[in-house]
Structure 1
Amino acid sequence: MMTTADIIRKVRELEIKSRKLSNDLFKGEYHSAFKGRGMSFKEVREYQPGDDIRFIDWNVSARFSHPFSKVFEEERELTVLLLVDVSSSALFGTHAQRKKDVITEVAAVLTFSAINNNDKVGVIFFSDKVEKYVPPRKGRQHALYIVREMLTASPQRKGTRITEAVRYLNNSCKQKSIAFLLSDFLDESYEDALRVASSKHDLIGIKAYDRMDMILPDVGLLEVEDAETGSVAYVDTSSPFVRKEYEEQFHRYNDECKQIFLRAGSDLLHIGTGEDYVKVLQKFFAHRNRR
């Protein structure tokens, strides 16, 4: 259990790290990776060869007996929604970090990147139900509040139900938003809800995983407990067949997640505990900018 002093220190650490990353590495990439809601009128100027004749301002042109064109600019203000998995399975981690720590750091970086771009940010915390909703707002204090909530989240339930969070997104946010879904995706039957959300919002999945989710150590008979259901099982990790089947099952499930997002027309990123998530995010932003 974190003390108040621990929380304040951790919030400050995440703010410094996230603001540095969003200022030094992601400011340009984030700004250009996501498009605004539309175009707004900026000014009129003298007509130039190549201007679209549909944008000629006939009233101004008549007044000055010379053609003038309307100039528009993209509306940059965006609404960013973070859907953050706070289920018990996110507490697992064997490589310097838990999956929850990865999710929290990435969410903090995205929060400060949005705030630095003068965008609104909100959060939907979910387990197998929506645990808490923080409506989108601007400003540093709001960003710090979000980070504190992520660090101190105490869910009432242990399970994971992605459909509940995605449906809540559709119902609570009427305008098109940038939605980041951060989870280990240990769930099923969420494809339909994801497809509906992706048709309305720009939705990006970020899948956190631990090395032991993929590879079992050879340590003999191992007692394992499902963090969400409490069920206990024994696994013979000394068996090469068991270890091979375990790893293949992880890759099959990963491929299934990729296909679900692909069919929904959305992106899915994979970030492991202890991995340099900065490189993953930079690669994603660069890819978005080339589209």
Structure 2
Amino acid sequence: MPHSQFTSRSMLSDIRGASVEQAQLIRCRFQAGQLKRPNSKQMGALQGQHMSPHKGRGLSFHHVREYQGGDEIRHIDWRVTARTTKAHTKIFEEERERPVIICLDQRRTMAFGSRTRFKSVSACHAAALLAWAGLESSDRIGGIIFQDHQHREIRPRRSQKNVLHFLHQACEANQALLTEQQSDETLALAQHFEALRRITRPGSSVFIISDFHGFDQAAERQLTLLARHNSVTAIQVFDELEAALPQTGNYPISNGKQRLQLRVTREIQTQFSNHFQARTQDLQGSLQRCRISLSQLSTEQEPLRILQQSFKQGMQLS
């Protein structure tokens, strides 16, 4: 077996468990090359009923020249005009690259997993793949990491150093889930999305990796504003035990401090499954109104495979 193939396969099962190490996220760089970028005609996010239109890249200032007929008055440079006594206008050019903003959820609700890995670990893995793939595409990579009581902001820069900084912050937030005591004071999801909107320049590609617990009308309003000028893709991370309970019977459960017996009946199974499906449908409807595409990532699935499928369907990295 070729070394590159062996490395890729071994890393697919490398990131498991309740927490993640930075070295594991750094090794995702070798996997990120397998994320094929869509061609230039495949604009927007995931294709299909939730497709989001491609938003234009931002404009950057290029130079100043004398005003010509047909130039927009709002672009007149009044300082140069006053200094030269001749009307001058600012000339802008389209930016060649698009900032990639990765929104990573590491709140307390993400610290859950029934078998292979925690939701928080799956989210970190997916975020690392997107960060390395964006850097390989010569895009500026930035992000924001949600925690219960705060968020960590990483401004977009086109450098390996910035990606490593993002991954370091992600690991710190991830490991804090296992070491820090739960705080009674928590930020609402809408507050996190407002911070995300503040650091995102128009024309960016935004990826939100979250379980979307606490998603409400206020959060939807923030995402509606965000999606007006950016291409936004949502990745809902969930555990199979959140979607469906195991077979009927008695099961021991624990929160790390207390142990209880959970009795699972057919009626409880049905109610539980229906609740998850209803919540997912509500989220899909809300994001569709925001013109945001939605993909799902189970903790039993490998993030690379899910992202590959999404890219084949037209997910836009940059």
Q: TM-score range by the shorter chain?
A: 0.7 to 0.9
Specify which of 245, 270, 273 is matched with residue 244 of structure 1: 270
Question: Residue by residue, what CA displacement relative to the aligned partner does 1:76-124 show, whole Å, maximum 9, x if unpaired?
Answer: 3111111111111111001211001100000000000111111111121
Do the aligned partners of 2:252 and 2:259 also contact (CA within 8 Å) in 1?
no
Do the aligned partners of 2:99 and 2:141 also contact (CA within 8 Å) in 1?
yes
Matches within 5 A, 1:26-45: 26-29=35-38, 37=57
Do the aligned partners of 1:223 and 1:233 also contact (CA within 8 Å) in 2?
yes
Do the aligned partners of 1:83 and 1:179 also contact (CA within 8 Å) in 2?
yes
Alignment length (residue pairs):
244
Structure-2 change in CA distance of 1:200 and 1:38 (3 Å): closer
CA distance in 2: counterparts of 1:151 and 1:269, whole angstroms:
23
Specify which of 278, 281, 292 is matched with residue 255 of structure 1: 281
Q: Secondary structure at the match of 1:220?
A: strand
Alpha-carbon deviation of 1:28?
A: 3.2
Identify the residue that residue 71 of structure 2 maps to in structure 1.
none
- Ranked by relative contact order (alpha carbons within 8 Å, sequence separation 6 or more), the top structure is 2
CA distance in 1: counterparts of 2:32 and 2:113, whole angstroms:
26
Do the aligned partners of 2:234 and 2:294 also contact (CA within 8 Å) in 1?
yes
Identify the residue that residue 87 of structure 1 maps to in structure 2.
107
Identify the residue that residue 162 of structure 1 maps to in structure 2.
189
Identify the residue that residue 68 of structure 1 maps to in structure 2.
none
Specify which of 22, 27, 44 is matched with residue 32 of structure 2: 22
Are residue 127 (structure 1) and residue 147 (structure 2) matched? yes
Identify the residue that residue 205 of structure 2 maps to in structure 1.
178
Q: Secondary structure at the match of 1:28?
A: coil
Structure-2 change in CA distance of 1:30 and 1:222 (3 Å): farther
Q: Which amino acid aligns with 2:141?
A: V
CA distance in 2: counterparts of 1:160 and 1:221, whole angstroms:
33
Q: What is the root-mean-square deviation of aligned Cα atoms in Å?
A: 3.1
Structure-2 change in CA distance of 1:38 and 1:187 (3 Å): closer
Specify which of 236, 253, 267 is matched with residue 207 of structure 1: 236
Q: Which amino acid aligns with 1:108?
A: A
Q: Which amino acid aligns with 2:223?
A: L
Identify the residue that residue 192 of structure 1 maps to in structure 2.
221
Are residue 114 (structure 1) and residue 134 (structure 2) matched? yes
CA distance in 2: counterparts of 1:14 and 1:240, whole angstroms:
40
Are residue 277 (structure 1) and residue 288 (structure 2) matched? no
TM-score, structure 1 as length reference: 0.73
Specify which structure has the higher proportion of helix. Answer: 1
Question: Residue by residue, what CA displacement relative to the aligned partner does 1:194-221 show, whole Å, maximum 9, x if unpaired?
Answer: 1111112211111110011112123426
Identify the residue that residue 145 of structure 1 maps to in structure 2.
165
Q: Which amino acid aligns with 1:258?
A: Q
Do the aligned partners of 2:197 and 2:222 also contact (CA within 8 Å) in 1?
no
Q: Which amino acid aligns with 1:176?
A: G
TM-score, structure 2 as length reference: 0.67
Q: Return 5+ residue gaps in structure 2 as ranges.
A: 1-19, 45-53, 61-92
Do the aligned partners of 2:58 and 2:201 also contact (CA within 8 Å) in 1?
no
Q: Which amino acid aligns with 1:29?
A: P
CA distance in 2: counterparts of 1:83 and 1:212, whole angstroms:
24
Deviates more, 1:166-175 or 1:151-160: 151-160
Q: Return 5+ residue gaps in structure 1 as ranges.
A: 1-8, 41-72
Alpha-carbon deviation of 1:169?
A: 2.0
Question: Residue by residue, what CA displacement relative to the aligned partner does 1:173-231 show, whole Å, maximum 9, x if unpaired?
Answer: 33321111111111131211111111122111111100111121234265566x9xx99
Structure-2 change in CA distance of 1:160 and 1:105 (3 Å): farther
Are residue 11 (structure 1) and residue 22 (structure 2) matched? yes
Structure-2 change in CA distance of 1:141 and 1:289 (3 Å): closer
Q: Which amino acid aligns with 1:111?
A: A
Identify the residue that residue 64 of structure 1 maps to in structure 2.
none
Q: Which amino acid aligns with 1:97?
A: R
CA distance in 2: counterparts of 1:266 and 1:87, whole angstroms:
22
Alpha-carbon deviation of 1:232?
A: 10
CA distance in 1: counterparts of 2:251 and 2:36, whole angstroms:
49
CA distance in 2: counterparts of 1:221 and 1:105, whole angstroms:
30
Alpha-carbon deviation of 1:172?
A: 2.5
